[in-house]
Amino acid sequence: MPLQAVVVPHEVGPHETVALAGDFFATEGPAPVVVFAHGSGSSRHSPRNRAVAERLQREGFATLLLDLLTAEEEAADRRTGHLRFDIGLLAGRLLSATGWLDRTAAYRPALGYFGASTGAAAALLAASQLGDRVGAIVSRGGRPDLAGAALPAVSAPTLLIVGELDRTVLDLNRQAARQLAGVHELAVVPGATHLFEEPGALAQVAELAANWFRKYLLAPASQ
How would you write the pLDDT of the chain (223 residues) with one tens digit per residue? Answer: 577 888 888 987 777 898 998 999 988 888 999 999 987 566 777 788 899 999 999 999 999 999 888 888 887 778 877 787 899 999 999 999 999 999 987 778 899 999 999 999 999 999 999 999 999 999 999 999 999 999 999 999 999 999 999 999 999 999 999 999 999 999 999 999 999 999 999 999 999 999 999 999 986 544 4
**CB neighbours (10 Å) of residue 198?**
16
Angle between helices 87-104 and 118-130 (to 10 degrees): 60
- DSSP states of 13-24: ETTEEEEEEEEE
Phi, psi of 62 (to 5 degrees): -85, 150
What is the rounded distance in angstroms from the CA atom of residue 223 to the CA atom of residue 98? 24
The CATH H-level superfamily of 4-222 is Alpha/Beta hydrolase fold, catalytic domain (3.40.50.1820)
Domain boundaries, the chain: 4-222
The three-state secondary structure class of 133 is: helix
Q: How far is it between the farthest Cα atoms of the chain?
A: 50
What is the rounded distance in angstroms from the CA atom of residue 153 to the CA atom of residue 149? 8
For residue 80, what pLDDT is reported?
A: 79
Q: pTM of the predicted model, to two decimals?
A: 0.93
For residue 193, what pLDDT is reported?
A: 97
- DSSP states of 80-120: H--GGG-HHHHHHHHHHHHHHHHHHSSS---EEEEEETHHH
DSSP 169: H
Element (H, E) at 185: strand 184-189
44 near 54, Cβ under 8 Å? Answer: no
Cα 180-84-25 angle, rounded to 5 deg: 80
Q: 121-154 burial by CB neighbour count: b if 16+ within 10 A, else e?
A: bbbbbbbbbbeebbbbbbbbbbbbbbbeebbebb
- DSSP states of 32-62: -EEEEE--TT--TT-HHHHHHHHHHHHTT-E
For residue 1, what pLDDT is reported?
A: 59
What is the rounded distance in angstroms from the CA atom of residue 48 to the CA atom of residue 218? 23
For residue 40, what pLDDT is reported?
A: 58
